[in-house]
A and B are shown apart, each in its own frame.
Chain A
Amino acid sequence: ELKVEQNPLFLSMQEGKNYTIYCNYSTTSDRLYWYRQDPGKSLESLFVLLSNGAVKQEGRLMASLDTKARLSTLHITAAVHDLSATYFCAVHNDMRFGAGTRLTVKP
């Protein structure tokens, strides 16, 4: 059974700091997705990673995919309060989601 593990599950950061969220998955997949969810809201697509070595950046967020290592990362640069949310990765096979990383950015 495909397993998708995110870590950390909870992350409290100071504004201006950098950090990385990790998403490991247990079986081969060539597509991985990152989503953002604000409290009480729906999911917003952030990145779609389609191949090994894919790297995508949007503002202070950068996502990468290493299909050989079965690992994706979401890197946060110079965090700001507006980035506070829960971030999910999801693997295309079975569309299985990680448990989510609840990010809080403090002033």
Chain B
Amino acid sequence: DTAVSQTPKYLVTQMGNDKSIKCEQNLGHDTMYWYKQDSKKFLKIMFSYNNKELIINETVPNRFSPKSPDKAHLNLHINSLELGDSAVYFCASSDGQETPSYEQYFGPGTRLTVT
């Protein structure tokens, strides 16, 4: 049973479009995250979110917005896509309440290509 899943796995779209990436976790975790991995494999956190607090990396353009319909889901909406948005986006989750480690479990990633 997949712990953290993302859809779609691949997404090819044109500049200016709006798209969403979905993330679901079945681990019962209370915190979820979105990361961007660029072509040089550098990983940067974009958002972390639990039912109490959304923490936004200040460098993330406001074209990106996380939406959480419930504790098990954190979707990523991207408006007006730009070429520089092409990357692999990873969702992750952690449980910081039951265990203090905040160990994160990553989804398989979504490769976004903007043409």
Dominant secondary structure at the B interface: loop
Q: Assess the B45–A50 pair: CB atoms within 8 A.
A: no
Task: Provide the residues of chain A in CB contact with B102, threshold 8 Å.
Answer: 31, 48, 92
Contacting residue for A48 out of B40, B101, B109, CB 8 A: B101
Interface residues of B in 38-82 (CB under 8 A from A): 40-45, 48, 57
Q: Quick one: CB contact mask for A39-51 with B, threshold 8 Å, 1 for yes?
A: 0011111001010
Chain A residues within 8 Å of chain B by Cβ, number: 22
Minimum CB–CB distance for B77 against chain A, Å: 21
Cβ 8 A contact of B90, one of A42, A90, A94, A99: A42
Give the bracket for the number of chain B residues in contact with chain A. 20 to 34
Q: Mark B93-109, 1 if CB is under 8 A from A, else 0.
A: 00000001111111111
Chain A residues with Cβ under 8 A from B109's Cβ?
41-42
Whether B105 contacts A45 by the Cβ 8 Å rule is yes
Q: Determine the residue in chain A with the shortest Cβ distance to B107.
A: A42
Binding site for B on A (CB under 8 A): 31, 33, 35, 37, 41-45, 48, 50, 86, 88, 90, 92, 94-97, 99-100, 102
* Given A33-B104, A92-B102, A100-B41, 6 new contacts (CB under 8 A): A35-B106, A43-B92, A44-B106, A90-B43, A95-B45, A97-B44
Q: Which 7 pairs across A and B sit closest by C-beta, in order of nearness?
A: A97-B43, A43-B106, A48-B101, A95-B45, A42-B106, A48-B103, A42-B108
- Offer 24 A-B interface pairs, CB within 8 angstroms, sorted by A: A37-B41, A42-B108, A42-B109, A43-B90, A43-B106, A44-B106, A45-B103, A48-B102, A48-B103, A50-B100, A50-B101, A86-B41, A88-B43, A92-B102, A94-B45, A95-B48, A95-B104, A97-B43, A97-B44, A97-B45, A99-B41, A99-B42, A100-B42, A100-B43
